[in-house]
Amino acid sequence: MAQYVLKRILMIIPVVFLVAITIFTIMYFCPGDPAEIILGVGAAAEDIEALREQMGLNDPFLVQLGNYLYRTFIKFDFGTSYANSVPIIDELSHRFSKTFVLAISAIIIEVIVGIPLGMVSATHRGGWIDQLCMILALIGISVPSFWIGLQLLLIFSLKLSWLPPYGVTTWQGWILPIFVNSLRGIAQMARQARSSMLEVIRSDYVTTARAKGLPERTILFRYALPNALIPLVQTAGQSFGTSLGGTVIIENVFSIPGVGQYMVNAIVTRDYAVIRSAVVVLAIVFSLVMLLVDIAFGFIDPRIKAQYEGRNRKYKWRKKLRRVAANA
């Protein structure tokens, strides 16, 4: 298992490398000249040319690509933004913790709230709880997050003054953004949990357990639940990706200085250096989280774990030999 984990971690590196190359190439062909943007409107032609020389923008594409890859992956120097001398890596590391907290807490809440909701709906199928939960879930995935965000801000910040209207310097400031960011995920998770649970309840081993006369509670928690959880891990992972993208909007509404805001500002000013770096960092995070999801899969479902472990033939042979020797 550890070998599988290590192998996966190592595989992330070439993927990220390729992502960096792709993004760099895309940005290269984007319209807009960074030197012009920095110097502003009406700058003299010679000044623009001089700055282009200084920034290395006149070098051929491969040379620029090479320089970029070398600086990013060997020296870990993401460079500075076009707009100022702040190293991008500093900005990113400061902002990243906020975005990450937002995205991860969304997942945690989705799991804590969504799964029980789905389970309850499934076990009381057709009842009023089921109908209610599913209607709420449907609404949850149909409404834009920033609208809900702004409405809640009005109610809780202005009318009731319970929560601060902006920023996350206090713990109360986190409540609304996290809640709004996780709404869609809760709804998605509840629906998914419900259908997964329904499928499991109809399976043979549950019928057998019932036939054996086991109490309903035991059946639910020991037989049905663990098996129902398996596909939900996948949903949680995908949800992380969505909430990572969704933080862009949430950060805007609640004035949270995270990576999303950083990227949006960079897009407006065509600050390619920032965009490249932000995308590469987010891709790395996303891949790592996907890896965590797969590992979690392995822990929950022994069949998949065997699959991971079975990939190493030598290991399997050694185990078999050991068993044979033990029996001999």
Partner 1 sequence: MLRTQRKVADVTPATMKKSKEETKKQSQFREVMKRLMQNKLAVLGMVIIIVYVLVAIFAPYIIKYDIAELNLGEKNQPPSKEHWCGTDDFGRDIFSRLLYGTRYSLGLGLGAVALGLLVGIILGCLAGFFGGWVEEIIMRFCDLMQAIPGTLLAIVISMVLGSGFVNTIIALGIGRIPMNSRLIRAQFLNQRQLEYVEAARATNCPKTKLMFVHILPNTISPLIVLSTMGVGGTIMMAAGLSFINLGVQPPLPEWGAMITAARQYIRYYPYQLLFPGLFMGILVLALNLFGDGLRDAMDPKLKD
Partner 2 sequence: MKRWLSLLLVLVMILALASCGDKKAGKDVEPTDSAQTAPKTSGPDAGDEGPEQQEPENKELVVGISTDPVSWEPWGAFNNGRKHLMHLVYQTLTAEIPDLVNGTTIRYYVLASGYEQIDDRTYEVYVREGIYDTAGNPFTAKDAVFSYSTAKAQGTLAQLNAIESLEVVDDYTFRMTTSRTLAVGDFEDILTGFNMVTQASYESSPDGMVTTPVGTTGYVLIDYVAGSHAVFEKADSYWNNAANESRSIEDGYCSTWDCTKLDKIRYEIITDPTTMTIALESGDIDISANVSSNDLQLFQDGGKLADKFDVFAHPENMYGISFNASKSSPTNNYNLRMALAHCVDPQGVLDATFDGSGIVLKAWAYPTFMDYQNKWDDQPYFEYDLDLAKEYLQKFYDETGTTADTLKLRLLTQSGPTTGKIAEAVQAYIVTLVDNPTCVEILSFDRGTYNSMWMDENAFDILLIYGQTANRTYCTYAWNSYANAAKLQHKNDVWHSGDEKVQELLNAAISVKTHSDETVSDFQQYINDQAYIKNLMCGDVYVVGKSWIGGLEDCIGPKDCLAIMALDYDWSKSDK
- Interface with partner 1 (CB under 8 A): 15-16, 18-19, 22-23, 26-27, 29-30, 138-139, 141-144, 146-147, 150-151, 154, 195, 198-199, 202, 241-242, 244-246, 248-249, 252, 263-264, 267-268, 275, 279, 282-283, 286-287
Number of residues that bind partner 2 (CB under 8 A): 72
- CB of 89 or CB of 290, closer to partner 1: 290
Q: Exactly one of 12, 27, 39, 134 binds partner 2 (CB under 8 A); which one?
A: 39
Tell me how far apart the terminal alpha carbons of the chain are, to the nearest angstrom: 28
- CB of 118 or CB of 237, closer to partner 2: 237
CB-CB contact of 177 with 109 (8 Å)? no
For the chain, how many residues are written?
328
The radius of gyration of the chain's CA atoms, rounded to the nearest angstrom, is 25
Q: Binding pattern to partner 2, positions 4-33, x when CB under 8 A?
A: -x-------------------------xxx
Nearest-approach distance from CB 173 to partner 2, in angstroms: 8
Residue in the block written with tokens 């190293």: 87
If one counts every other C-beta atom within 10 angstroms of the C-beta of residue 176, the result is 24
- Buried/exposed 243-269: b ≥16 CB within 10 Å, e otherwise: bbebbbbbbebbebebbbbbbeebeeb
Written as one letter, the residue type at 315 is Y
Tell me phi and psi for residue 87, to 5 degrees: -60, 135
- Taking CB under 8 A as the rule, does residue 171 contact partner 2? yes
- Taking CB under 8 A as the rule, does residue 220 contact partner 2? no
Nearest-approach distance from CB 44 to partner 1, in angstroms: 28
- CB of 64 or CB of 195, closer to partner 1: 195
Long-range contacts of 252-256 (CB under 8 A, 24+ apart): 252/146, 253/146, 253/149, 253/150, 253/153, 253/177, 253/180, 254/149, 254/153, 254/166, 254/167, 254/168, 254/173, 254/176, 254/177, 255/166, 255/167, 256/98, 256/102, 256/167, 256/168, 256/177
Q: Which of residues 265-324 bind partner 2 (CB under 8 A)?
A: 267-270, 285, 288, 292, 295
CB-CB contact of 192 with 238 (8 Å)? no
Question: Interacting stretch for partner 2, rule CB under 8 A, among 14-22, 45-53, 68-76, 128-136?
Answer: 45-53
- Taking CB under 8 A as the rule, does residue 257 contact partner 2? yes
93 binds, among partner 1, partner 2, none (CB under 5 to 8 A by kind): partner 2
Residue in the block written with tokens 């599988």: 4
Q: How far apart are CA 34 and CA 323, in angstroms?
A: 66
Nearest-approach distance from CB 19 to partner 1, in angstroms: 5
Q: Exactly one of 137, 201, 220, 256 binds partner 2 (CB under 8 A); which one?
A: 256
Nearest-approach distance from CB 160 to partner 2, in angstroms: 11
- Taking CB under 8 A as the rule, does residue 43 contact partner 2? yes
Nearest-approach distance from CB 146 to partner 1, in angstroms: 6
Question: Interacting stretch for partner 2, rule CB under 8 A, among 111-119, 131-139, 235-243, 249-257?
Answer: 249-257
